[in-house]
Amino acid sequence: METKQLLERALQLKPFEKALIVDGLLKSLDEPNKEIDDIWTSEAEKRLKAYRGGHLKGVPIAEIFGTNE
């Protein structure tokens, strides 16, 4: 079934049934990806090591968010 046909059929469903489909689709987009999580973990560890080793300077949160806190 093509996407357009699938959408046409989905639009004919009852509101509750549409909500179930939308919920399921949104959840499928937000599934954890171990490979990406591993890449971010590695990057965070590198940055922390560089910061602690004095090779990377921190940026004050007030500068990041433009506040005077």
Question: What's the pTM value of the predicted model, to 2 decimals?
Answer: 0.51
Distance CA 19, CA 41 (A): 34
The runs of H, that is alpha helices, within 1-69 are 3-11, 15-29, 34-52, 61-65
50 Cβ contact partners less than 8 Å away, ≥ 6 residues apart:
56
What residues does each domain of the chain span? Answer: 1-31, 32-69
Confidence class of residue 69 from pLDDT cuts 50, 70 and 90?
Answer: low
Q: What is the pLDDT of residues 24-34, one digit of tens each?
A: 999 988 888 99
Give the pLDDT confidence score for residue 26 in this predicted structure.
Answer: 93
Q: Could you tell me what percent of the chain has a pLDDT over 70? A: 97
